[in-house]
Every structure is written in structure tokens, then in C-alpha cells.
């Protein structure tokens, strides 16, 4: 009996260490240091597994997946999520099951399978509503809205964002509310309200800075740069993009670095700095291919095709633009597909076809 009590104490002590490691990992992730977050989660997972705590093991797998996704390693992130999901379902952990399904849908969306992601989001939304987890409900609504926006359903996206924002404000989730405001600003930009979007981006940047959220600050700088570029302020936009790029490199956000580089390439193209733009696009494309971000790859193919047209190389432009159009069609990105075909028509005219 005394031996059993000793073993129980040792197990509890190890579990406290694992929980502390997982908390430490979450803190590293919030501070923008995914490698340290992954190391802490891996160590915690090992302790949970040896102690037979399957709930802890599934939570650690989820934490590893989140950090891997933030680095752009979507395939590895999904493997972690699916392993965690199998455990969570086996032990009947509804909350972790919902969270992992949400995470899997995020990866599907980022890989370009938007319709599949929107179907996957339905399950965690239903579970979270059923168990009364308002934080998870808001998160899933926000993520679904991102997918709806990609599909061009701006009304549906707006409805989801507004419900998510109301919940996050009601429960005092400042960082979450700021993220949803950022997404609403994206929607305003889509609808042509650039000045309104700019105001919201500036607000989200200030909030992210107050919270010490480097990822949020980087996103805000990037979006401010987008608004400045669309308004023709190329020099200002480049300054904002450089701020975002520095932060995204520091936190090893490969997808974010690639998107920022692609936008810098657009600025360089507009400034007729074609050789610089090509190098920038090629770096962005290599990163996007390494993480398997299909929509980003299609966009950069489009950008390089457009650049080739500016350089007086309509044959090269046609090849890349056809490739981009095929990719957008496969992704069901109708607006971008149509825009690419319009540029392709110009390339054909330029070659007299």
C-alpha cells in the first residue's frame, strides 16, 4: 500500500511537470518562438504517454501541430492533429476533439481544399455549441468565415465574423476580438472600402503591440502595406511590408514570409524593378512549394506570368498564366481564375495570337 502511494505521488509529480511544460510551450508559441514551443510540447507528450495520461497526450499533440502549422509545415501539423484526434475521440474528450477538428479544417483550407474545410468545420461548431464552449464557438465561426471569404461568399463571411466578434467581446477575449476585427477589415478591403479597412488594421496593430503578439503585429503591418499598395503609396507600402517581413522571419512563419515577399514583388513590379521582382517571387514560390500552400503557389505563378508580360516575354507569360488559371480552377477560386484569364488574353494579343 505504501509503495502504491509512492508511485501515485511520483506519477502526479511527473504530470505536474508535463502540464508546466505544455504551459511553457504555449507561452513560447504566443511569443513567436515555435521551435521552443515544439520542444516543450514534445517533452510534455513523452511524460504524459509514459504516465498513461491519454488526455494530456492528445493536448500535447495538438500543441505540436499548432506550432508546426505556424512554421508552415502543414503536412506534419496535420499528422499531429490526426494522431491527437484519434486519442481524444477514443477517450471521449469532446472539447479536445472539437479543437482538433477545427485545426484539421484550418490545414485543409490553407492547402486549398476550402469546400472540404467548410464541411469539416461543421462538426467542431456543433460540438462546441453543445458543450457551451463560447471561446471555441467564436474561433470556429471566425475560421469558417475565412473560408467563406475565399469562396466569394462575403455576406456569409460577414455574418460569421460579426457573431464571432460579439462573442469574443462578451467574454473579454481581447486578442481574439482583435483577430476578428482584422478579418472584418479584410472583408471591407474586398468590398473596396480601403480607408475603413486601414482604420481597423491600425487598431488591430495597436492591440497586438499591447498584448506582445508578434504574429498579430506582423499580420497588421502586412495588411497596412496591402492597403497602402492598393492606394498607390508604393514607398509606404514597402516600409510596412519590411516591418512584417522582419517579424515573420523572426518567428519562422514560412507562409507569412512567402505572402509578404509576393507582395513586395508586386511593389517592385509596379516600380519597373523587374529583375528584383523576379528574384523576390522565386524566393516566395520556393517557400510556398515547401509548405504546400496551393493558392499561394497559383498566385505567384500569376504574378510571375504578369511580370514576364511586362518584360516583353509574352510566350513565357502565357505558359505561367495558363498554369495559374488551371490551378485557380482546381481550387474553385472563380474570381482569381477570371482575373488570370484576362491577363492571359493580353499576353496572347501581345504575341499576335
Residue 270, phi-psi category: left (phi > 0), alpha (psi -120 to 50), beta (remainder): alpha
Residue with cell 506534419: 76
Instruction: Give 57-115 pLDDT, tens digit per residue.
Output: 999 999 999 999 988 888 999 999 999 999 999 999 999 999 999 999 999 998 889 99
Per-residue model confidence (pLDDT) at position 2: 47
Measured distance CA(116)–CA(128) in Å, rounded:
19
Calculate mean pLDDT across residues 123-144.
Answer: 97
Reported confidence tier of residue 160, pLDDT bands at 50, 70, 90: very high
Over residues 216-226, mean pLDDT: 93
Distance between CA atoms of residues 293 and 241, nearest Å: 20
Mean pLDDT estimate for the chain: 91
Give CA–CA dist 303/327, Å, rounded. Answer: 13
Continuous H helices in the chain: 2-30, 34-51, 54-70, 74-91, 94-110, 114-131, 134-150, 154-170, 174-190, 194-211, 214-230, 234-250, 254-270, 274-291, 294-310, 314-330, 334-350
Contact status, residue 251 vs residue 34, Cβ threshold 8 Å: yes
Confidence (pLDDT) at 291: 83
Cβ(253)–Cβ(68) below 8 Å: no
| First vs last C-alpha separation in the chain | 89
The rounded distance, in Å, linking the Cα atoms of 12 and 170 is 36
Amino acid at each position: 500500500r505504501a509503495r502504491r502511494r509512492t508511485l501515485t505521488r511520483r506519477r502526479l509529480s511527473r504530470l505536474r511537470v508535463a502540464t508546466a511544460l505544455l504551459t511553457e510551450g504555449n507561452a513560447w508559441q504566443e511569443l513567436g518562438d515555435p521551435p521552443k514551443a515544439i520542444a516543450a510540447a514534445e517533452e510534455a507528450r513523452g511524460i504524459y504517454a509514459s504516465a498513461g495520461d491519454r488526455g494530456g497526450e492528445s493536448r500535447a499533440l495538438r500543441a505540436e501541430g499548432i506550432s508546426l502549422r505556424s512554421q508552415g509545415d502543414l503536412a506534419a501539423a496535420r499528422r499531429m492533429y490526426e494522431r491527437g484526434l484519434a486519442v481524444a475521440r477514443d477517450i471521449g474528450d469532446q472539447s479536445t476533439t472539437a479543437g482538433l477538428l477545427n485545426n484539421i479544417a484550418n490545414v485543409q483550407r490553407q492547402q486549398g481544399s476550402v469546400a472540404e474545410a467548410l464541411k469539416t468545420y461543421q462538426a467542431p461548431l456543433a460540438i462546441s455549441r453543445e458543450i457551451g464552449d463560447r471561446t471555441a464557438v467564436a474561433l470556429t465561426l471566425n475560421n469558417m468565415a475565412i473560408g467563406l471569404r475565399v469562396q466569394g461568399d462575403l455576406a456569409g463571411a460577414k455574418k460569421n465574423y460579426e457573431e464571432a466578434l460579439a462573442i469574443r467581446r462578451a467574454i473579454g477575449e481581447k486578442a481574439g476580438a482583435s483577430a476578428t476585427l482584422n478579418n472584418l477589415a479584410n472583408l471591407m478591403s474586398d468590398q473596396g472600402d480601403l480607408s475603413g479597412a486601414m482604420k481597423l488594421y491600425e487598431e488591430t496593430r495597436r492591440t497586438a503591440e499591447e498584448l506582445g503578439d508578434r504574429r498579430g503585429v506582423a499580420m497588421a503591418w502586412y495588411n497596412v502595406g496591402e492597403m497602402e499598395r492598393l492606394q498607390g503609396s508604393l514607398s509606404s507600402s514597402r516600409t510596412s511590408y519590411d516591418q512584417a517581413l522582419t517579424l515573420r522571419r523572426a518567428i519562422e512563419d514560412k507562409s507569412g514570409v512567402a505572402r509578404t515577399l509576393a507582395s513586395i514583388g508586386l511593389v517592385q513590379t509596379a516600380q519597373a524593378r523587374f529583375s528584383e521582382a523576379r528574384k523576390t517571387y522565386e524566393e516566395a514560390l520556393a517557400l510556398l512549394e515547401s509548405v504546400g500552400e496551393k493558392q499561394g503557389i497559383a498566385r505567384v505563378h500569376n504574378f510571375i506570368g504578369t511580370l514576364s508580360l511586362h518584360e516583353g516575354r509574352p510566350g513565357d507569360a502565357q505558359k505561367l498564366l495558363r498554369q495559374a488559371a488551371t490551378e485557380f480552377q482546381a481550387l474553385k477560386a472563380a474570381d482569381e481564375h477570371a482575373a488570370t484569364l484576362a491577363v492571359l488574353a493580353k499576353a496572347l494579343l501581345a504575341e499576335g495570337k
